[in-house]
Amino acid sequence: MTAENIPRATAKRLPIYYRYLNILHDTGKQRISSTELAEAVQVDSATIRRDFSYFGALGKRGYGYDVDNLLAFFKTILNQEHLTNVALIGVGNLGHALLNFNFHKDGNLRISAAFDTDDKIVNTIEDGVPVYPIEELSHQLHDQQIKVIILTVPSKVAQSIADEAVSGGVKGILNFTPIRLQVPENVLVQNVDLTNELQTLIYFIENFGK
């Protein structure tokens, strides 16, 4: 089955499985059942088996899953063997927090360039990352061959910035703005709406947490 045929919900769970398999590997555990994995990652075992089935026979009935083999498989699927450079657009409060997070310490992601309009930080180094003027966005993305951006700009400029990034060759956008971006079919957008997530959490607490 090709990546295009993998359900989006399944794809979002793959990094969760991968992170836990890393923990198992570090503790020396050699095999795990879908039931054990379900308890650890809080995903029911039937869903795990269905997720894994999209990729063929990853385990054996009565044995479970070989941790090292499964880890190696997901490492390849998630492209963990190669470093991916990401650009941050908008170095405000949230942007600074993301720079400080340092993705590259925990995986194969690294913010290698940032863009902003503030003259106080443009052409400086913030948390080890060069900050370029927003006017250089398109050609810097193209020259540095950056295909993924994190968007933390004001809503009123989100679409125009996204358009500029796409013209620079971007294929993926992690969108922290509340705007639902219009992009070509070959560009993927992952929306992260912190307000919506918090409101959803409060709703479930109020209605199901009593």
To the question of whether residue 91 is assigned a binding role by annotation, the answer is yes
Which domain CATH number covers 25? 1.10.10.10
Q: Containing domain of residue 22, as a range? A: 3-77
- Among residues 33, 109, 39, 108, the alpha carbon closest in space to that of 70 is found at 33
Domain count, the chain: 2
Structural domain contains residue 202 = no
| Residue 76, CA distances (Å) to 3, 7, 8, 88, 163 in order | 13, 18, 18, 25, 31
Residues 40 and 92 in one domain: no
Joined tokens for residue 97: 């927090």
To the question of whether residue 166 is assigned a binding role by annotation, the answer is no
Residues 62 and 106 in one domain: no
For the question of whether the overall pTM of this predicted structure is more than 0.75, the answer is no
To the question of whether residue 56 is assigned a binding role by annotation, the answer is no
Residues 65 and 90 in one domain: no
Residues 64 and 118 in one domain: no
To the question of whether residue 92 is assigned a binding role by annotation, the answer is yes
- Run of H or E residues at 138: helix 137-143
Asked if 123 and 131 count as a contact pair (C-beta separation under 8 A), the reply is yes
- Run of H or E residues at 129: strand 129-133
Residues 69 and 135 in one domain: no
Going residue by residue through the chain (210 aa), what tens digit of pLDDT does each one get? 445 578 888 888 888 888 888 888 888 888 888 888 888 888 888 898 888 888 876 766 666 788 888 888 888 887 776 778 899 999 999 999 998 886 655 567 889 999 999 999 999 999 889 999 999 999 999 999 999 999 999 999 999 999 999 999 999 999 999 999 999 999 999 999 888 888 888 877 887 765
